Amino acid sequence: MKTIAILAARLIFAAIFLMAASFKFAGMGATAGYIAAAGFPFPLPLAWIAAIFEVALVLAFLTGAYFSEAALLAGAYVIFLAFAFHGPSHWQGNQNEFGFFVDHFTFLAGLLFAAVHGPGDVLALRRSVFKGAHVAA
C-alpha cells in the first residue's frame, strides 16, 4: 500500500503541474496578462519561465530524479503564487481568494512531506544533489 500511495502522490503532483503548464502553453498571452495584472514586469518572459519550470517539475515527479529538490522548489513556487496572486490584498474584493490562498498551504504541506521522504523505491531514478536526502524509503 505504501508504494501505491507514493506513486499516486507522485502522479498527482505531476498532473497538477502538467495541467498548469498546459494552460500556460495554450494561452501564453492570457497567462502573461494575468501576471501583468498582478503588477509584475516582463509578463511574457515570466509566463514562459513558469511554464518551462512546471514541465521540469513534472519530469522530476514522474521520474523521481531530483525529487526532493523539485518538491522543495515546487513548495517555494506554490507559496510565492499564493501571496502574489491570492494574498491578503485580494481578499477584500473576493472572499474566495482567501480559500485559494489557504489551499496553497495544504499543497505545500504535501510537497514538504514528499521532499523529506523522497520518491519511494519503485519507478524512481533517485538522483539528488542532497546527501542522504531520502530519509525513508
Taking CA atoms, 135 is separated from 27, 34, 114, in Å, by 40, 39, 10
* The pLDDT value given to residue 136: 43
For 72-110, how does the pLDDT look when each residue is reduced to its tens digit (9 = 90+)? 999 999 999 999 999 998 888 788 999 999 999 999 999
The answer to whether position 127 is within a domain reads no
For 32-73, how does the pLDDT look when each residue is reduced to its tens digit (9 = 90+)? 999 999 999 999 999 999 999 999 999 999 999 999 999 999
Where does the pLDDT of residue 128 fall: very low under 50, low under 70, confident under 90, or very high at 90 and above? confident
All three cell numbers of 67, joined, read 525529487
Main-chain phi, psi angles of 13, to 5 degrees = -55, -50
The answer to whether position 126 is within a domain reads no
Q: Give residue 14's domain range.
A: 2-117
The pTM of the full predicted model, rounded to 2 decimals, is 0.88
The answer to whether position 135 is within a domain reads no
Taking CA atoms, 122 is separated from 14, 61, 64, 137, in Å, by 16, 13, 9, 10
The answer to whether position 128 is within a domain reads no
Overall number of domains in the chain: 1
The answer to whether position 18 is within a domain reads yes
All three cell numbers of 122, joined, read 519503485
Helix and strand tally (H, E) in the chain? 6, 0
